[in-house]
A and B are shown apart, each in its own frame.
Chain A
Amino acid sequence: SQQGEEDPQALSIQEGENATMNCSYKTSINNLQWYRQNSGRGLVHLILIRSNEREKHSGRLRVTLDTSKKSSSLLITASRAADTASYFCATEGSNYQLIWGAGTKLIIKP
């Protein structure tokens, strides 16, 4: 089941620019996760942010979480062609499940 929305649905930027994707969710969470999916491949976990954290970094990735607004953002700095992929946020549901956002398709133009 899908809990939230991601925006934009698609994003096309020039290589070297920063890319920002947003995710909103509906219920209280313990953590929120971001995944990347390259075309025709499985999903790869990028970063997990806990509900008591506001910001987390991993290399060129920066994730923020605002629990009062029930929203999160993923920032990719200095984008590269290899960052072209779909990006999904996910929150934990009951019984070890993840509830997925609809995804943002990111295209990095050379």
Chain B
Amino acid sequence: DAMVIQNPRYQVTQFGKPVTLSCSQTLNHNVMYWYQQKSSQAPKLLFHYYDKDFNNEADTPDNFQSRRPNTSFCFLDIRSPGLGDAAMYLCATSTQDRQPQHFGDGTRLSIL
């Protein structure tokens, strides 16, 4: 089945220690998104790629970076995680014509 896969499901890191979250998709969608979601809140868009074109939200911290080496994979790098970065991180994809977004099951990040 075509899908969006996020690894790992749970990630624990230490304060200030870099961490990378990964996302892969078999849908061959042009657009990939990274969201941060804190408890009982709506997802907050961090950035998205339309093919290789990177779009950063204005309020996304500089601490957060992303890479999309090919259509299928996208990575979220958090350079120096702080306690406030503990959250669920969701990856999603869509086609270029604004059809619904398809989400992975997320990576829950904990900061010690």
**Are B98 and A92 touching (Cβ within 8 A)?**
yes
Closest to A10 in B: B40
* Contact flag A43-B43 (CB < 8 Å), given A95-B55, A96-B48, A97-B48: yes
Contact with A along B78-112 (1 / 0, CB 8 A): 00000000001010101010111111111010000
**Are A96 and B98 touching (Cβ within 8 A)?**
yes
B interface, size bucket: 20 to 34
**Are A41 and B105 touching (Cβ within 8 A)?**
yes
A48: B residues at CB distance < 8 A: 99-100
A110 within 8 A of B: no
B105: A residues at CB distance < 8 A: 40-42
Choose one: A2, A42, A44; the contact of B42 (CB below 8 Å): A2
B42: A residues at CB distance < 8 A: 2, 88, 100-103
A2: B residues at CB distance < 8 A: 42
Contact with A along B28-41 (1 / 0, CB 8 A): 00010000000011
**Are B108 and A96 touching (Cβ within 8 A)?**
no
**Are B103 and A43 touching (Cβ within 8 A)?**
yes
**Are B45 and A44 touching (Cβ within 8 A)?**
no
**Are B45 and A97 touching (Cβ within 8 A)?**
yes
Residue of A30, A96, A101 with most partner-chain B CB within 10 A? A96
* Contact flag A31-B98 (CB < 8 Å), given A2-B42, A96-B31, A105-B40: yes
B50 within 8 A of A: yes
**Are B50 and A42 touching (Cβ within 8 A)?**
no
A85 within 8 A of B: no
Measured CA separation A95–B94 after assembly (Å):
12
Residues of A within 8 A of B (CB): 1-2, 30-31, 33, 40-45, 48, 86, 88, 92, 95-98, 100-103, 105
- 15 CB contacts below 8 A, A to B, read A2-B42, A41-B105, A42-B4, A42-B92, A43-B92, A43-B103, A45-B100, A45-B102, A86-B40, A96-B98, A98-B45, A98-B101, A100-B42, A103-B41, A103-B42
